[in-house]
Amino acid sequence: MLKCNYAWREAYVRAVLETDPNLKFVQICEAFAAIEQRRLSPVETEDECRELENAWEGVRALISESGMKLA
């Protein structure tokens, strides 16, 4: 099955792949914002819903690993 390219996914992938600690913070914040924004709207497919929840857990793990504090 061909995966759709959701707009929020690009920000998430950038955060996951970023290796520069100075840029990682920005990428994580952008991914967090993109995923949170998408979660505020109805999700139309089960596939996107599942991927969105997985990405949400992933970004939370990135936040935890980085020691970031989000308000």
CA 30 to chain centre: 8
pLDDT digits (tens, 9 = 90+) for 33-48: 999 999 999 998 999 9
Supply 34's token pair: 């993109």
- Domain housing 22: 7-66
Q: Return the ∠ at Cα 17 (arms to 49 and 34), rounded to 5°.
A: 40
Residue 2 lies in a domain: no
Instruction: Please give the tally of structural domains in the chain.
Output: 1
CB 25 within 8 A of CB 68: yes
Q: What is the pLDDT of residue 1?
A: 40
CA pair distance 9, 16, nearest whole angstrom: 10
Residue 1 lies in a domain: no
Residue 71 lies in a domain: no
The larger pLDDT score, comparing residue 62 to residue 71, is at 62
pLDDT confidence tier of residue 2, bands split at 50, 70 and 90: very low
pTM of the predicted model over 0.85: no
CA pair distance 36, 53, nearest whole angstrom: 10
The predicted model gives 27-36 an average pLDDT of 96
Residue 57 has pLDDT above 50, yes or no: yes
DSSP string for residues in 29-59: HHHHHHHHHHHTS----HHHHHHHHHHHHHH
